[in-house]
Structure 1
């Protein structure tokens, strides 16, 4: 099968994914132990995800931030916190605090932690 696919110009590659998240307007589907394959065929890449997702409401866990934004507060987006955690190799609390001190400026927050 693999030889036949190669002859047709189709290349399959397994991807060692730790987590796959699919966001819809209403929910997030989180695959923690998913098998992921990428197929390259005729210049197009197609991804196949196999596993059982955990479904959670969009914004779950971020209700306090949403309420703060509704009140006109300056809530720090979780995506920004995640970036600082990864880049500066610090915990979430330290990343959030640095972002608050830097008034949401990602570069300044990361620089202050390095």
Structure 2
């Protein structure tokens, strides 16, 4: 963006003149981004807040790990799968979690065992 080598102090001065401020957020232990399919977890992330023209933008750096979301399984679904397959409620719930709440697929899975 800028030609040649620029002194970091000069760069900060230019950014201030343009109304741009950058600040690292200290002491960040963990950042979690929640999505419907799971969570992106950043341990020991570096977060920089950049403010320009009254709008603050956050830049996140670090290694992320993905934690898949565990679906909420209603007790009625567990009871239905257990009654249809003769499985225990614990096995029925485990099958529903594995099939991400799909009742028909859970029944087929337990029926084949």
Length-normalised TM-score, structure 1: 0.53
Q: Distance in 1 between matches of 2:46 and 2:36?
A: 24
Q: Distance in 1 between matches of 2:30 and 2:42?
A: 6
Length-normalised TM-score, structure 2: 0.53
Q: Which has the larger radius of gyration?
A: 2
**Match of residue 58 from structure 2:** 47
Q: Distance in 1 between matches of 2:58 and 2:69?
A: 23
Q: Which runs of 4+ in 1 moved over 3 A?
A: none
The gaps in structure 2 that reach 5 residues or longer are 1-10, 77-113
Q: Distance in 1 between matches of 2:38 and 2:60?
A: 17
2:35 to 21, 24, 27: 24
Shift of 1:56: 0.8
CA RMSD of aligned residues (A): 1.4
1:9 to 15, 19, 41: 19
The gaps in structure 1 that reach 5 residues or longer are 73-114
Show CA shifts across 1:40-85 (max 9, x none): 11010100000110111023xxx6xx33xx116xxxxxxxxxxxxx
Q: Secondary structure of 2:44's partner?
A: coil
**Match of residue 49 from structure 2:** 38
Q: Secondary structure of 1:40's partner?
A: strand
Shift of 1:24: 1.3
Shift of 1:23: 1.0
Q: Distance in 2 between matches of 1:18 and 1:3?
A: 30
Shift of 1:27: 1.5
